[in-house]
Amino acid sequence: MNMKRGLGRGFDSLIPTDYVDEEFDVTAVEDAKSSKLRELKLTEVEPDEGQPRRHFGGTELEALAASIKEHGVLQPIVVVANEDKFTIVAGERRWRASKLAGLETIPAIVRTLTDQNRLELSLIENVQREDLNAIEIATAYAKLKTQFNLTSKQIAQKVGKSESAVINTMRLLNLPDEAKRIMVEKGLPEGVMRPLVTVDPEIIAEVMPRLVEEEWSSRKVENFLTSLKSKGQAKHRGGKAVSSSYTDEANALTTKFDLPVEIRVSARGSGKVVLSFKNERELKKLLKMF
């Protein structure tokens, strides 16, 4: 199993900003009241001269244009009326790619500046409510980022959180849809699900039933993933191999001891059980078990 998904990339590449999942959009009703979805001519739309982003990668733009040719514009741009034109609030890259793709029109959410401010306040108020689940909060953050052009730092300032907290919560949207639904239905805390964000969907699907049934803590999730990664590395160490027939046993021991456990089997059939620890506290905890 590949454990490298997401490694080596910056934070921005791990934050989903190209969509807002309507299932968890807590201001969708308010949005419908304040906005009008229209099909605008590309010639009626103009970029915002105050938009801080001025560079749009040629290769990425061409790739998006090719996708738009095949599938169309999947997410409307957001604009505000400005005399006889419409100024882009969010979605300039989609607008440019649509022109490159040869389209004549583009779907757009048309707002007034008053509506824009009211929706932003509505989103922020919803984020600050204590009864929202982490996925709804992450969706609200993504909406502030995609439809209001707010940076993670600006969102953090508006909702009274640290920037890292906002980034980590938003990254939950990278989880598979089924994992997000289970998280919401079972009331799983953000800390338990966060370690799974960069893990392959196959591994997430495999671990979710046990995570729910055995009420794993975030530490158990981390230890399980560390053990899984260690077993993958062990296959290439010194001619040794980890027998797949002992995977369940190693996972069971990892859960029992709340520490990463490896079962290593040599080519001759002999083997060893290896319990790992990260610090002195974990070592003392391990020694007390024997």
- Across 33-42, 174-183, 253-262, which has the greatest mean pLDDT? 174-183
Which of helix, strand or coil describes residue 89?
strand
Q: Report which of 199, 204, 205, 253 is spatially closest to residue 227, judged by C-alpha positions.
A: 253
Angle at 15 between CA 115 and CA 62, to 5 degrees: 85
When pLDDT is averaged across residues 20-37 and rounded to a whole number, the result is: 64
The DSSP result for 221-282, as a single string, is HHHHHHHHHHHHHHTTSTT-B--GGGHHHHHHHHHHHTS-EEEEE-TTS-EEEEE--SSHHH
- Positions marked active-site: 92
- Across 33-42, 46-55, 266-275, 280-289, which has the greatest mean pLDDT? 33-42
The pTM of this model reads 0.53
DSSP state of 114: H
Q: How far is CA 181 from CA 123, 169, 275, in A?
A: 21, 15, 34
pLDDT of residue 240: 43
Domains of the chain plus CATH, in order, are 11-171 (3.90.1530.10), 226-290 (no CATH)
Q: Report which of 31, 175, 38 is spatially closest to residue 116, judged by C-alpha positions.
A: 31
One-letter amino acid of 143: K
Tokens matching residue 71? 């599938």
For 135-194, write each residue's pLDDT tens digit.
888 888 888 887 777 888 888 888 888 988 988 898 898 899 899 999 999 999 999 999
Residue 287's region, left for phi above 0, alpha for psi from -120 to 50, else beta, is: alpha
Query: Quick check: 106 and 65 in contact, CB under 8 A?
Result: no
Angle at 171 between CA 226 and CA 76, to 5 degrees: 150
For 103-125, write each residue's pLDDT tens digit.
999 999 887 766 667 666 666 76
pLDDT of residue 12: 43
Tokens matching residue 239? 């001619």
